[in-house]
């Protein structure tokens, strides 16, 4: 087993991963590499994930070993912010050619490292492996080792070629590279009882700086942020921090957990999206630091800051209430954001008419129900046309989502706000949440929408494309309503597991036929949830709905 395979296996065993907790030992070994469906996949590869996770390390050179596609098509495309060195925004690639493919590219890679060190003298060079040299057998670990020795400068191999899996696997492989080659390699010059690591935060749009002034006020020192506005030396010496916050994305849970294992740094999962979450995170940080020896007054000081900031935030949101009360928000995002921002929106008077749960965990869903009630409209994946109909039916006033769905909303003349990675606004901490509310206000009240919803002069009421889309959807619905067989077929055709392309009917049939009562059983019989595992929640819902009544039915019979 190659070292890469071992690393991947290692990542699969991650006990800190909520998804893994649902799997048997054997299943865990199969790994969580999403088995992507040819012709039906989207999203980045493992290389992309590794680069995304590490690139915000601002002062190192990130060298991509591969053909031009991997770096040439993607460099300098992230909105992370650095307070100093901009070297991270420099694109370095070996841009391998046919000769390198045939005869191997290790020599070119070595020379490339040399050139970089000579010209840019970074504190370290991160070398990213990609598919083609992985296939031709270029050993980047060996090259990095030789280069480190020769040039006296850490050269860090990041073994995460695209084809080993999806982006989130790449995030974790990046973490492994840090654990193996960086963290703990340098001793810090000073340490304090207030030293904190932040893991999995990329400082997009500089939003860490929305929170950092509060840390500064409390005397909490960020030993290392991995990796937003990060510096090589800080990360290398981050093993002496007293506590860590793992930002909820889970992208680097392996880093947090292994640092706890190896260096005894306790961590918690937290978020600075939303007022309550911000307060919770501050509290948790203070608690962990005090537990690890910081003076106990930190707790009180933290509470005082929280009280002040919450009061200011709610006061700042207050004036928007009158304008936003009753406005309906559709939230299409992932993980914690599906509920963490809800409280602030509700406080500003808004109503959540739906939230996506495609990437949500069970706990996420519980929180949603808690906040939005049992009737919370939880949305799985949906096609653009369906989304449009949903927007119209739900009479939403605005959609908050990531860039992927923006064009659907915008082309439908719906106010839309980016709350995912590509956004140019910073929404973290207390001020960030106020900014979010203000931006929603701005988007909803933009007079443009009224114009864009008007018909073009050549359109009659019935031939607008919106009308046509709605009419088509309605016609389909009517046809289904009139034809129960077709309706049932359509219901059963709903895709549950996207990785393995398993539909609802197949799962229902399997549950009934084999009297299944857990996800593992469904997986065995239908292959559903055999990919990324994200649909496990959906399968559980089906199990709850189908198997229980089936038993009742049997009992009744």
Partner 1 sequence: MAKVTIGKKACAVNPLKMSQPIGGAFAFLGLRGAMPLLHGSQGCTSFGLTLFVRHFKEAVPMQTTAMSEVATVLGGYENVEQAILNIHKRQKPEIIGICSTGVTETKGDDVDGYIRLIREKHPELASYPLVYVSTPDFKDAFQDGWDKTVAKMVEVLVDKPTSTRRDPARVNVLPGCHLTPGDIEELRTIIEDFGLEPSFLPDIGGSLDGHIPDEFTPTTIGGIGLEEIAMMGSASWTIAIGAQMKRAAEAMQVRTGVPYRLFERLCGLLPNDELMTFLSEISGRPVPAKYRRQRGQLADAMLDAHFHIGGRRLAIGAEPDLLFDVSSMLHEMGAQVAVAVTTTQSPLLERMPCDEVLIGDLEDLENLAKARDCALMMTHSHGRQAASRLKIPFYRIGFPMFDRLGAGHLLTVGYRGTRDLIFALANLIIADREDNHQPTPDTWLDPWAEAQQAPSPDSAVVAPLH
What residues from 51 to 80 belong to the interface with partner 1 (CB under 8 A)? 63, 66-77
Residues 241-270 that bind partner 1 (CB under 8 A): none
Residues 349-408 that bind partner 1 (CB under 8 A): 383-385, 388, 397, 403, 407-408
- Kindly tell me which of 23 and 500 has the beta carbon lying closer to partner 1: 500
CA 77 to chain centre: 17
Q: Is 41 in the site for partner 1 (CB under 8 A)?
A: yes
CA 477 to chain centre: 34
Which span (134-142, 268-276, 282-290, 511-519) binds partner 1, by CB under 8 A?
A: 134-142
Give CA–CA dist 368/357, Å, rounded.
Answer: 9
Whether the CB-CB separation of 96 and 108 falls below 8 Å is answered with yes
When binding is defined by CB under 8 A, the residue of 23, 257, 435, 523 that contacts partner 1 is 435
- Kindly tell me which of 106 and 364 has the beta carbon lying closer to partner 1: 106
Q: Is 103 in the site for partner 1 (CB under 8 A)?
A: no
* 125 strand-pairing partners: 61, 155
Q: Is 451 in the site for partner 1 (CB under 8 A)?
A: yes
What is the DSSP track for 40-104? S--S-BHHHHHHHHHTTBTTSEEEEES-HHHHHTTTT---B--SS--GGGS-EE----HHHHHH-
Q: Is 157 in the site for partner 1 (CB under 8 A)?
A: no
When binding is defined by CB under 8 A, the residue of 9, 86, 325, 474 that contacts partner 1 is 86
Residues 317-356 that bind partner 1 (CB under 8 A): 319-320, 322-323
Whether the CB-CB separation of 277 and 336 falls below 8 Å is answered with yes
Residues 168-207 that bind partner 1 (CB under 8 A): 205-207
Instruction: Give the containing element (helix H, strand E) for 39.
Output: none
Q: Is 108 in the site for partner 1 (CB under 8 A)?
A: yes
Instruction: Give the containing element (helix H, strand E) for 331.
Output: strand 328-332
Give CA–CA dist 302/287, Å, rounded.
Answer: 10
| Least separation in angstroms between CB 371 and partner 1 | 24
Q: How many CB atoms lie within 10 A of CB 95?
A: 19
Q: Is 438 in the site for partner 1 (CB under 8 A)?
A: yes
What are the residue ranges of helices labelled H in 292-414?
297-324, 337-340, 342-347, 362-372, 384-393, 406-411
When binding is defined by CB under 8 A, the residue of 190, 293, 374, 424 that contacts partner 1 is 424
Whether the CB-CB separation of 60 and 87 falls below 8 Å is answered with yes
Q: Is 304 in the site for partner 1 (CB under 8 A)?
A: no
- Kindly tell me which of 269 and 439 has the beta carbon lying closer to partner 1: 439
- Kindly tell me which of 506 and 547 has the beta carbon lying closer to partner 1: 506
- Kindly tell me which of 24 and 97 has the beta carbon lying closer to partner 1: 97
Q: How many CB atoms lie within 10 A of CB 199?
A: 27
Q: Is 1 in the site for partner 1 (CB under 8 A)?
A: no
List the structure tokens of 318: 């207050």
Q: Is 146 in the site for partner 1 (CB under 8 A)?
A: no
Which span (19-27, 293-301, 444-452, 543-551) binds partner 1, by CB under 8 A?
A: 444-452
Q: Is 37 in the site for partner 1 (CB under 8 A)?
A: yes
| Least separation in angstroms between CB 113 and partner 1 | 8
Q: How many CB atoms lie within 10 A of CB 448?
A: 11
């Amino acid at each position: 087993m190659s070292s890469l395979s071992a690393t991947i296996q290692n990542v699969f065993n991650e006990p800190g991963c909520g998804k893994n907790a649902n799997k048997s030992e054997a299943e865990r070994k199969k790994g969580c590499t999403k088995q992507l469906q040819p012709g039906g996949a989207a999203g980045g590869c493992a290389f992309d994930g590794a680069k995304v996770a590490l690139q915000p390390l601002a002062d190192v050179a990130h060298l991509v070993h591969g053909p031009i596609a991997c770096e040439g098509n993607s460099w300098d495309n992230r909105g992370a912010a650095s307070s100093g060195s901009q070297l991270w925004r420099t694109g370095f690639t070996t841009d391998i050619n046919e000769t390198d493919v045939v005869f191997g590219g290790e020599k070119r890679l070595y020379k490339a490292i040399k050139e970089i060190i000579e010209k840019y003298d970074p504190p370290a060079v991160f070398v990213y492996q990609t598919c083609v040299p992985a296939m031709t057998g270029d050993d980047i670990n060996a090259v990095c080792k030789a280069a480190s020795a020769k040039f006296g400068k850490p050269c860090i191999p990041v073994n995460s070629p695209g084809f080993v899996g999806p982006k989130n696997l790449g995030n974790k492989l990046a973490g492994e590279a840090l654990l193996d080659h960086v963290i703990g390699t340098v001793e810090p010059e000073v340490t304090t009882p207030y030293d904190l690591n932040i893991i999995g935060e990329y400082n997009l749009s500089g939003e860490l700086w929305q929170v950092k002034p509060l840390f500064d006020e409390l005397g909490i020192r960020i030993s290392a942020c991995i990796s937003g506005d990060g510096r090589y030396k800080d990360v290398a010496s981050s093993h002496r921090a007293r506590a860590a916050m793992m930002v909820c994305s889970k992208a680097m849970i392996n880093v947090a957990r292994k640092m706890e294992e190896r260096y005894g740094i306790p961590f918690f999962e937290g978020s600075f999206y939303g007022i309550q979450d911000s307060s919770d995170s501050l509290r948790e940080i203070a608690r962990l630091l005090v537990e690890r020896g910081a003076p106990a007054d930190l707790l009180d000081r933290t509470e005082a800051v929280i009280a002040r900031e919450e009061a200011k935030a709610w006061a700042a949101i207050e004036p928007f209430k009158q304008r936003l009360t009753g406005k309906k928000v559709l939230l299409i995002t992932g993980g914690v954001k599906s509920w963490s921002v809800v409280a602030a929106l509700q406080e500003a008077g808004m109503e959540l008419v739906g939230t996506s749960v495609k990437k949500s965990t069970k706990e996420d869903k519980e929180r949603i129900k808690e906040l939005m009630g049992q009737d919370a409209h939880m949305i799985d994946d949906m096609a653009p046309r369906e989304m449009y109909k949903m927007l119209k039916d739900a009479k939403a006033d605005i959609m908050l989502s990531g860039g992927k769905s923006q064009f659907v909303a915008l082309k439908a003349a719906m106010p839309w706000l980016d709350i995912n990675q590509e956004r140019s606004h910073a929404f973290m901490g207390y001020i960030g949440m106020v900014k979010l509310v203000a931006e929603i206000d701005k988007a909803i009240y933009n007079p443009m929408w009224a114009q864009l919803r008007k018909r073009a002069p050549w359109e009659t009421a019935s031939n607008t494309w919106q009308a046509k889309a709605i009419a088509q959807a309605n016609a389909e619905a009517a046809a289904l309503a009139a034809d129960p067989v077709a309706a049932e077929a359509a219901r059963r055709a709903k895709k549950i597991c996207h990785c393995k392309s398993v539909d609802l009917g197949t799962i229902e049939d399997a549950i009934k036929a084999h009297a299944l009562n857990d996800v593992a059983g469904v997986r065995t019989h239908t292959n559903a949830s055999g990919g990324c595992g994200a649909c496990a929640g959906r399968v559980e819902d089906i199990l709850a709905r189908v198997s229980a009544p089936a038993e009742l039915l049997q009992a009744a019979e």
